[in-house]
Chain A
C-alpha cells in the first residue's frame, strides 16, 4: 500500500505527460474495443493495488511490477491482477509486458487468471489460470506442470498475451511474433447457442430468453503477471503504447471471418420460405410508409398481395401531412371522421394532440387561428394536395416513415442524429432555437438523455399512449447508451424529407418570421385563449375521470408557459415551437391508428432491425460465451 501513496504524488510535468498517455490509452482502447461499454465494464488500464501478492511492488502509475520477496522457492511466487477483468464484449483482447529485468533467475510468468485464484502463485499453476513462463518457455494451463511451448524470454523481450473470446483460445507473442494458439477454458463454460436459429416474435421474449442464456455465462479473466526472484521487473502495456504485435491485423481477420460466416449462413431447403418472408417484409415496409406505387410494382413483380387497402394508406398519409404541417385541428377532425371512436377511446392521445394544437396556435399555423390571419396562397396550394404519391414519395413519404418508425428508432437511439439533422434544416428557427438547440435534440432522443425532464415526459407519455412495455425496457437498458454508437442509417429516408418539409415550412416562415403570437392577429389570440380554457377544462375532466396525471399536467404547463414570455420563440420552453416537435405527436397518432386497424405499429423490417441490434447489444453486454458479437454489427449490413 505504501506505493499507492507514492504513485499518486506526481510532479507537475509528469502529470501532464501522464494525461497525454491517458488520452492516448483511451483513444487506443476505443479503437480496439469499440463495442465495449467502458462505463459498465471498464477495461484494464493498470495493475491493481489491492488484488496482488504482498511480494509485489508497483510503480510508474501502477504499470511497473517488481518483486520484493526473498525468492527462495516457488512458495515465494507472487502475482498481480489488472484492475479489471477482460470484458467479453472485447471479442479479442490483447496486452503486452516488457521485461525490464530478469532479476536473479528470470522466473516470470505472463498470462491470465480468474478472480479468486491465489496470488501467491505464478499464472498458470492453478485452475482458471494460464501463463507463459520465461525461464523454460513453457506454457502452463491450469496445471503445475507446463508443456513445452515457446522460446524462453528474458531482459528486453516484449511478451504479449492475446485472448480470443470467440473461439476460447489464447496465444502469446514474443517481440511481435505469435507463438502458437492454445485453448482457454473459461471458468464456468457457458452453453453455446445459435442465436440466429431462435425466432423471436416479440422483443420482450428476445430479452428474456437471451438473458436467461447469458445469465449462466461469466468469463472474468484478468491480465496477470507473476514473478518469483529478486530483481525481476516488468512493465505492462495495456494500450498506453503502440503494441509490438499487430493485434489489429488479427482482429481484422476475425472480423472478416465472422462476417463471412454470416454471409454464408446456410439457408438450404428453406430458401423459399426466406424469400417469401423477405418479400413480405419489403412489401409491408413500403406500404407502411406509403410508397404506394412502389409497393404495387413490387407486389406485381414478386407476385404477392398487399394486405392494406390503398385508401387506408392514403388516409393515414393525409393525417400525417396535417400534423406535420402543424394543422392539428384539421388532423384531429380528420381522425375523428376517418377513424370514429379512436380518439374517444384514447383520451390521453387526444389530450396530447390538443396540447400540440394549442402550441400550433401560438405559432399561428393551426387552421383555427390561421383563418384569421392573411393566408399565403402558396400555403393553401401546396398543402392539401400533398398526398401525391410516387413522384414525391421518395421525399415526402420518407418523412413520414421517419416519424412512423419513431418509437422504434428512438429505441435504437437513432433519433439523436436524426433530430440534429432536422434541426439544422430549419434555418429560420435557428436563432430562437440555437440557445435551446441541445435541449431540443435531447428531448427528441430521449434514450440518450440522462436528466432531461422533457425526455421523461415524452417517454412516460408514449408509455401510456401505447400501453406497451417497450419504453420501460428502453429506460432500463439504454439510458446510458453512448450516443455515438447509435445507428443513423436505419433512417434511410430522412435526409430528403427535410427538404420537402422545409419547402412546406417556408410558407409558414412568412408568418413565423414576424414572430408574433398567433401571427399577431387579435381574433386569433382570443381564439387561442379560449382554446386554452377548453384545454384546461379537458384536463380537469380527465383528472376527475382517470385520476391525477402528472404528465398531462406538465404538458399543459409547458404549453401555457409559452404565453408568459414576450418572445415565446426565445424562452426556456421555446423549443416546443420547433416543428420537429410535431414528429413524436405524429408518431403516436399514426401508431394508434395502425393499431386500431390491427396493423403493426411499425413495419416488421424495422422491428427486425431493432431486434438484431438489440440482440447484439445484449450479447456484448451480458457476455455470451462467444465474443463474436463484437465483430458483427448491424450497421455493416445497412447501406
Chain B
C-alpha cells in the first residue's frame, strides 16, 4: 500500500516484461506436443533464479496450464516431468508464489503424479511437494491455513503415507525429499503416531548411514521431529540398530565436533527427546558427556542466532527435571554468563552500521530472549546455588522485569517461567525480588493474560505470597484477592489449583481483615464448589485454606459465627465421602481448629453426627487420622476453658475415655503421648 506513488512506473515495467513472458505461456498451448515440450523446457530455463519472471508467469496463468499438462494422461512422461520441474521452480520463489500454487490445487495433482512408474517424474513431483511443504508458514496470513491443511491431509491419508514409505527405497532423491516432507508436515502427537504406525522408524533408520549427506541429515531431522516429546517413538528408537550399531550410538557419532552444526544440533535434539522419555538415563555418558556439552556449545557466541535459540531451548528441555544435569550445565563453559549475551540483540552497534544486520537481529531478538529465559528457568529449577549465580548475572532481575512486560507472548511466558523458577529461593524472595518490586509487573501480567501465562504467573504469585515474603503486603493491596478468587472459577484446572493455593498461602497467619476479605471474595457457594471439585489437589488446597482461615481463637469464632453452618456441613460431607487419607486428615485438622475456638466449640458439641465421626476416626487403622481426631478431642476437653466439664462428661458418655485408655497403650509414641495428655485433662 505504501507504493501507490510508484504504481504507474511499475505498471509500465510490468507490461514490458509480461509481453516477453506471455510468449512462454502461449507456447504451452501449441498443438504440437513437441513444441509444447520445448516451450516448457525454455520456460524452465527462464525462471531459474528469476523471481520476477516467476511472478509474471503466475499472473499470466501458466500454473493451471502446467498442471493440466502434468495431469494429462496423454502427455509424454518427459513433458510431465518438465512441468513438475517448472512448478517446483515456481514454488522456490516468494511466499506468494506458493500461495498461488496452492490455490490451483497443486498438491492433489502432485500426489497423483507420485503413482507414476517413472522415477524421474516422481522425483520432480516430490521435489515440488517438498518445496511447498517447507515454505515458512506465517500464522498472520489467513491464506496460509491451506498449507497446514494440506500437511494434515497428507499425513492422515493412509494410502499416501504408505505410498511415500514405499517410495523411500527408490533413490537418494526420493529419500531426501520424503524425509524432508515428513519432518515438516509432522506436527504434534497425532501425526507422530500416524508416521510411527506406518513404520517410519524402520523405514528411515537405515537412511542415517546413507552415503549422501543430505539424506542422512533429513533422516536425522525426521527422527528429531518424530521423537519430540513422544515417549513411544523415543522408547522404540533406543533399540533400533542399523548395521549392527544402535541408534543412540549413531546419534552420538553425529554429535562429533567436526560434523556440521546442523547435524550436531539435530542429533542432540534426538538424544534429548530419548532422554526425556526415559529411554536413556540422565546419567548416561552419552547425555552427560556428549549431548549436554554439545548443546552448551550451541549457545556460544560463535553460533548463528537461530542455532543459539534452538540450542538453548533444547538444553532447557533436557535439564528441566534433573538437578544433576542442571549442575553440570551450570558449570559448563560459563553457560550462565554466556546466556546473558542473548539479551544484547539488537546491539547498539548493529543499529547504526548495518541495516541488514539490524533487521536480522531484530527478527531474532525475541526468540533469543525467550530461549535464554527458558534455559535460566531450567537451570534454576532446583539448585539454590545456581539460582544465586543466575541472579548475580548482570542486570538479570531488570531483564526479567522487562521481559514480563514485553509485547511478545512467548517472551512474557518465558520470563514468568524464569521468575517462577527463581522464586523458589527463600533468600531471593527476601532480597532481589523485593529490591526490584517484581510483584508489580507480575500482577500486571496476571491481568487478561492467556491461560498458559496465567498458570505460571499464578504459581509464581503463590511463592510471592508465602508469609516470609516481603512482597505479600503490596500484592494484597493491589487487589490480588479478587484476582485469585476469579482464578478459582477458571475452567483450567491448573489455574484453579494455583488460585486456591495462593489464597491458602495468603491466609496463612494473616490478619482478620484479610481472612474476611478472602471469604467474602470467594463466597460460600464458590467454597463449596471447590470442596466438591473433582481434583484432589484443589480439594486439598481448599481445605488448607479453610484450615489457615480457622486459626487463632478470635478468628475461628468470628468465622464460625458467620459461616459455621456451611463449614460444618462441608466437613461432614467430606468425612462421609470417598476421599483419601490426606484429605480426611486435613478435614479432621479443620475440626481440631474449630474445636479450639471459644464459641465455635459448641458447633461441634451440639453436632452428634460429627462427634460420632471423631470417635470413629480415633479408632481408625491409620495413625495419622487417629492423631488428628485426638487433637479435636483434646481441644474439646481442655480443662482451663469454660464449660470444659460438660464437654468432658458428654464425651465420656460417648465412650471416648475408653478409647483414650486403649490408645494410651498404643505402640505409636505420638498417639500414646497424646492420649495420656488427654486423659490427664479428665483427672484434673
Contact = CB atoms under 8 A, between A and B. Distances in A.
Interface residues of B, number: 13
B257 interface: yes
Which bracket fits the contact residues of A? 10 to 19
B529 to A, nearest CB: 51
A174 B258 contact: no
B434 interface: no
Nearest to B292: A177
B257 A177 contact: no
Contacts of B332: 177-179
B331 A179 contact: yes
Given A176-B289, A246-B289, A252 B257 contact: yes
B256 A249 contact: yes
A359 B288 CA distance: 69
Given A250-B257, A252-B256, A253-B258, A181 B333 contact: yes
Contacts of A146: none
Given A177-B293, A246-B289, A150 B331 contact: yes
Interface string B307-347: 00000000000000000000010011110010000000000
Contact of A253 (B257, B289, B328): B257
A177 B258 contact: no
Contacts of A253: 257-258
A177 B288 CA distance: 9
Interface in B290-306: 290, 293
A255 B257 CA distance: 10
A149 to B, nearest CB: 8
A277 interface: no
Nearest to B332: A177
Nearest to A149: B334
A179 B334 CA distance: 6
Contacts of A250: 257
Contacts of B333: 178-181
Residue of B256, B258, B288 with highest tally of chain A CB at under 10 A:
B258
Contacts, number: 34
A151 interface: yes
Contacts of B331: 150-151, 174, 177, 179
A292 to B, nearest CB: 37
B334 A256 contact: no
Contacts of B288: 176
B257 A256 contact: yes
The CB with the most chain B CB atoms within 10 A, among A151, A177, A180, A181, is that of A177
B338 to A, nearest CB: 8
Given A150-B331, A151-B331, A178 B258 contact: no
B293 to A, nearest CB: 7
Contacts of B256: 249, 252
Given A252-B256, A255-B258, A256-B258, A180 B334 contact: yes
B76 to A, nearest CB: 36
A407 B444 CA distance: 83
Nearest to A151: B331
B577 to A, nearest CB: 52
A178 B257 contact: no
B303 to A, nearest CB: 13
A180 B330 CA distance: 11
Interface string A2-32: 0000000000000000000000000000000
Interface in B64-109: none
Interface string B254-293: 0011100000000000000000000000000000111001
Interface string A222-250: 00000000000000000000000010011
Contacts of A176: 288-289
Nearest to A174: B331
A356 B569 CA distance: 122
Nearest to B334: A180
B334 A177 contact: no
Interface in A53-93: none
Contacts of B328: 177
A208 B230 CA distance: 64
Interface string A367-383: 00000000000000000
Nearest to B294: A249
A179 B331 CA distance: 6
Interface in A163-216: 174, 176-181
A253 B571 CA distance: 68
Given A249-B256, A256-B258, 4 more contacts: A177-B331, A179-B333, A181-B333, A250-B257
19 contacts: A150-B331, A151-B331, A174-B331, A176-B289, A177-B289, A177-B328, A177-B332, A178-B293, A178-B333, A180-B333, A180-B334, A180-B337, A181-B333, A246-B289, A249-B256, A249-B257, A250-B257, A253-B258, A256-B258
Interface of B: 256-258, 288-290, 293, 328, 331-334, 337
The 7 closest A-B pairs by CB, nearest first: A253-B257, A256-B258, A180-B334, A252-B258, A249-B257, A151-B331, A177-B332
